[in-house]
Chains A and B, each alone.
Chain A
Amino acid sequence: MFYREAGDFSTTYAEDQQTFPIKFDRYRYYLVLFIAIFVVPFALNDYWVNSLLLPFLIYAIAALGLNILVGYCGQVSLGTGGFMAVGAYSCYKFMTGVDIWWGGELLFRLPEFNIFFSVIMGGVMTALVGVLFGLPSLRIKGFYLAVATLAAQFFLVWLFNRVSWFYNYSASGQISAPERDLFGILITGPSTTPWATYLFCLFFTIVSAYVARNLTRGASGRKWMAIRDMDIAAEIIGVNPLRAKLTAFMVSSFFIGISGALFFSVYLGAVEVGEAFGIQKSFLVLFMIIIGGLGSIFGSFAGAAFLVLLPVALKVVGVDWFGWPTDIVAHLNLVVVGFLIIVFLIAEPHGINQLWRVAKEKLRLWPFPH
């Protein structure tokens, strides 16, 4: 019934290879974009934006980034929290003007960047740090590497805690985003409007998804997947493992850095590094891509949506309906998340994305399955 390619003839290679080759799918995609851009901003309020939409959009970017590294290139990383912290602190430094000191004297101070470029610079700096911590991946594989990325996690968090240059010598050790605007519309700070922050994050999410999708189906993506499936064989057929692994680390860290920058500047406004970017964050994003589906763009979104919704839903059901204490619901949340991870790994290792794909196959034949 739905998703039928009947009557949908491609006459060019470009048409044949587009992301959504089936017409119905393509129009659904346009519809989703249309609603997200032109309908949602008028219909939302503070609660929806701050508890659901912003975390979803921001985590989706992080999940996309991690999925490139873990799902497409097969390099498991547990350093996501640390890399998000790099994005956040770079964004903060560029927002407030980077000051370079030498021998106790101020050499020069960069002008304050616009918030848009600060976020981009957050991504760029994280990409550099990501490449640095990706270097060991050339020697270390599997969960030796996973544990090695924990070094990045702990070292970076410690660095941002101890070196006061990163938080501009503030007494509290926190960083808080000053008020910044884009075309005269406030994006960060306490008095923003919900629709502005929403659209700002949505822009980054859409662009990230577009870039990720096109990178992963292009030459670089195929190289990553070759490395993932068997790195020695890939090397023999001419994939340069150094380039492939490091580009994967770079692109992945770039996205994660952007999400960290948005997480700090737009969503939270003020962060303390150990609390916001601890190891729990690394696991959370990893869980998102496991539940959503390793190696799929849609899966990153589905996983992010799922794990953002789950605590909110449990809180609504547990606290608001049944009146349970919040700590019990928080513990229950842990149990449910852990249980779901195990269930997904056993029953559906390819995550929600696979369920969606199976559903689509069924829909193509429905209502006549033969």
Chain B
Amino acid sequence: MNEQLAFTIEVFANGLMAGVLYALVALGFVLIYKASGIFNYAQGVMALFAAMTLVGIQNGQVPFSHLINAIFGTDIHKFGWSVHSFLAIILTVFVMIALAWAVQRFVFRHLVGQEPIILFMATIGLAYFLEGVADLMWGSELKALNVCAAEGACLPQGMNMWLEGTTYEALGYGFFIDNLDIVASIIAAILVIGLVMFAQYTKQGRAMRAVADDHQAALSVGVSLNFIWILVWSLAGFVALVAGIMWGAKSGVQFSLSLIALKALPVLMLGGFTSIPGAIVGGLIIGVGEKLFEFLIGAPFLGGATENWFAYMLALLFLVFRPQGLFGEKIIERV
């Protein structure tokens, strides 16, 4: 088999894996946008916050210990226990639900009926606020995230030897694919299917779609807007937690984790803000597109590191021809 072609296929496969992770983050955006019309820039910071909280709970860190130490001159850092991963994840989910409630109660309830762009700016403010709180609460240093079901059964690291072996025997070229990426893709796929099922077949899911369709009509048939909004923010928090675990396990929990939101934005533009399938397809297109572009054009001709902007340029060009994205609802403007 041609070496160059095999290389390209490998890049393609890695792009698909990265695309699944982008789609995972983009999904959080779509959920909130559909139900409340809020374009939640803070989604990336929510992933950071969730991952930091998870690590903090696992290691038994005292929240706000740095601040307490600075104010009172004490020297406390840890409770001295460590919490099992499952329990820690459940506790983190509760924290994210509390956060969803607080965001809804103290911020967006007061902004109902404002223009979308105002809501967008409010979420940028929220992102700053959350980032500061997360740093104050758990400290801003780089942390390693290990999620283990039991001793020795953690999220896998490193490359997949089995896949490399089999492909080497079959094709004469060993494919290099990260174990974690495979796990992440599977989890993301399960999550996506679960969310779609939830939206289609459960009472709350249907109420959520009703709210997304028309706030007032939903209100008039007895759907509680408040509850639905808290629900979607909690769901987005949960998606953020999953994304945070995946990215955190890959490259450690630190500030740059929150920048995945910036990766998800072009995915959304490409797929359309209102469509769950759009988020997934957009994620895959951008994941594959930026890896292939970097490999075929960026690195040899343009000096590399094109991944930062390629997705945006692709989305920008695409939007000029189709302003609502691939799967978005047609934008109809009335005067």
Q: CB within 8 Å of B: which residues of A?
A: 76, 136, 139-144, 146-148, 150-151, 154-155, 157-158, 161-163, 230, 232-233, 236, 279, 283, 286-287, 290, 322, 324-325, 327-328, 331-342, 345-346, 349
Contacts and interface: CB of A to CB of B under 8 A. Distances in A.
Given A162-B305, A283-B124, A143 B116 contact: yes
Contacts of B319: 136, 139-140, 144, 148
A75 to B, nearest CB: 10
Contacts of A346: 107, 110-111, 122
A332 B117 contact: no
Contact of A147 (B71, B269, B309, B335): B269
B132 A331 contact: yes
Contacts of A136: 316, 319-320
Contacts of B335: 230, 232-233, 236
Nearest to B304: A162
B265 A155 contact: no
Interface in B292-313: 302-306, 308-309, 312-313
B125 A341 contact: yes
B153 interface: no
Per DSSP, chain A at the interface is: helix
Contacts, number: 142
A328 B139 CA distance: 9
B6 interface: no
Nearest to B137: A331
Interface in B74-117: 107, 110-111, 114, 116-117
Contact of A338 (B71, B125, B140, B313): B125
B320 A338 contact: no
B130 interface: yes
A158 B290 CA distance: 15
For the complex of A and B, the 3 pairs showing the least CB-CB separation, nearest first, are: A338-B129, A341-B125, A334-B132
Contacts of B313: 151, 155
Given A143-B116, A162-B302, A346-B107, A151 B132 contact: no
B118 interface: yes
A338 B127 contact: yes
B323 interface: yes
Contacts of A345: 111, 114, 118, 121-122, 125
Given A230-B335, A341-B121, A331 B116 contact: no
A143 B120 contact: yes
Per DSSP, chain B at the interface is: helix
A226 to B, nearest CB: 13
Contacts of B128: 283, 334-335, 337-338, 341
Contact of B308 (A154, A332, A335, A342): A154
Given A76-B117, A147-B266, A150-B262, A334 B131 contact: yes
A230 B115 CA distance: 13
Nearest to A82: B309
B313 to A, nearest CB: 5
A163 B265 contact: no
27 contacts: A136-B320, A140-B319, A143-B116, A146-B117, A147-B266, A147-B312, A148-B269, A148-B315, A151-B266, A155-B312, A158-B305, A158-B308, A162-B304, A287-B125, A327-B135, A335-B133, A336-B132, A338-B127, A338-B131, A338-B132, A339-B125, A341-B121, A341-B125, A342-B107, A342-B125, A345-B118, A345-B121
A150 B136 contact: no
Contact of B309 (A154, A283, A341): A154
Contact of B132 (A144, A147, A230, A335): A335
Given A147-B266, A324-B70, A158 B136 contact: no
A294 to B, nearest CB: 10
A332 B132 CA distance: 6
B135 A331 contact: yes
A319 to B, nearest CB: 10
Nearest to A339: B129
B264 to A, nearest CB: 10
B209 interface: no
A150 B265 contact: yes
A324 B136 CA distance: 12
